Structure 1
Amino acid sequence: MSSQDAVGTTREALTTLAAAVLRVRNEYGDTLGVRRLTSDVDRLQADLDELGTPAPGHRPDVAPRELLEIPDAPYDESMWQDAQSEAQHAP
């Protein structure tokens, strides 16, 4: 999903949320809770408007060439030959 798709999807969700909050306002009236919900939706919309373009070098997904495959085979026991157990250092 591109950043434009993500922003568009978020805008659609906020539009749906704003409509739901309006229905709550119609049901509950102009209460403190409703005013806070309305303010929260407005703040989210303003934050979304201020996003701009993604930061240079930002990579939302890891490229397959950067993944390191870790085999399921057991480790070579000699790898732990000189290691000390944490239990040996406990007071």
Structure 2
Amino acid sequence: MMRSIPLRGFDQQMSSLVTEHMESHGTRFLKGCIPSVIKKLPTGQLQVTWKDRASGKEDTGTFDTVLWAIGKNATSHTYTL
């Protein structure tokens, strides 16, 4: 599920290649959607409820894996060991 495009600018080309490769190997991407609820089922699978930003409709699906990737700028240079 992707709320927006995976990356912007120069990295967008590489991101598109990775996304296309993953889709060709069976990864299902839901584009333009925002998750609202994730429940772990007794089977171990995850039931996800989301809202499609384009249509405004809510939907639910069951998945084996949910990957959270949140874009942030690294600030590791401000930390000292």
Query: Is TM more than 0.5 here?
Result: no
Q: TM-score, normalised by structure 2?
A: 0.27
Q: TM-score, normalised by structure 1?
A: 0.25
Q: Which has the higher helix share?
A: 1
Structure with larger RCO (C-alpha < 8 A, sep 6+): 1
Computing the radius of gyration from Cα coordinates, the structure with the larger value is 1
